[in-house]
Chain A
Amino acid sequence: MKPAPFRYVAADSLASALALKAEHGDDARFLAGGQSLIPAMNFRLAQPAVVVDINPLGELDFVRAAGAGGLRIGALTRNRTLERDALVAQRQPLVREAVPHVAHPQIRNRGTLGGNLAHADPASELPALMLALDARLHAKSARGERWIEAREFFRGVFTTALRADELLAEVELPEPRPRTGTCFMEVARRRGDYAMMGVAAVVALGADDRCTHARLAYCNAGETPVSAATAAQALVGSRIGEGQIHDVAAVAQREIDPLGNVHASKAFQRHLAGVLTRRALQTALDRAMAGR
Chain B
Amino acid sequence: MTAELHAITTTVNGTRHSRRVESRLLLSDFLRHELGLTGTRVGCEHGVCGACTILYDGEPVRSCLMFAAQAHGHELTTVEGLAPERGRLHPLQEAFRTAHGLQCGYCTPGILLTMKAFLAETPSPSEGEVREALSGNLCRCTGYQHIVNAVLLAAARLRGESSA
Contacts and interface: CB of A to CB of B under 8 A. Distances in A.
Interface of A: 1-8, 10, 34-35, 38-39, 41-43, 51, 53, 55, 80, 103-107, 109-110, 190-192
Interface string B1-18: 101101000000000000
Contacts of B4: 7-8
B1 A192 contact: no
Question: Chain B binding site: helix, strand, loop or mixed by DSSP?
Answer: mixed
Contacts of A80: 59
B103 to A, nearest CB: 21
B80 interface: no
Contact of B66 (A2, A38, A105): A38
Closest A-B pairs by Cβ, 8 of them: A104-B136, A8-B23, A39-B46, A191-B135, A3-B24, A109-B59, A1-B45, A38-B65
A106 B61 contact: yes
B155 to A, nearest CB: 16
Contacts of B125: none
- Interface-central residue, A10, A106, A107, A191, by most chain B CB under 10 Å: A106
Interface of B: 1, 3-4, 6, 22-24, 26, 29, 45-47, 50, 53, 56, 59-62, 64-67, 69-70, 72, 114, 117-118, 131-133, 135-136
A50 to B, nearest CB: 10
B69 A34 contact: no
B62 A110 contact: yes
Given A105-B117, A105-B133, 13 more contacts: A1-B46, A3-B24, A38-B67, A55-B70, A80-B59, A105-B60, A105-B118, A105-B136, A106-B61, A107-B65, A107-B136, A109-B59, A109-B60
A180 to B, nearest CB: 28
A123 to B, nearest CB: 15
A58 to B, nearest CB: 13
Contacts of A38: 26, 47, 64-67
Contacts of A107: 47, 62, 65, 136
A115 to B, nearest CB: 12
7 contacts: A8-B4, A8-B24, A55-B70, A80-B59, A104-B136, A109-B56, A109-B59
Contacts of B72: 10
B64 to A, nearest CB: 7
A43 B46 CA distance: 8
A5 B1 contact: yes
B61 A42 contact: no
B47 A35 contact: yes
A110 B65 CA distance: 9
A110 B135 contact: no
Contacts of B53: 106
B65 A7 contact: no
B23 A7 contact: yes
A104 B24 CA distance: 24
Contacts of B22: 5
Contacts of B66: 34, 38, 110
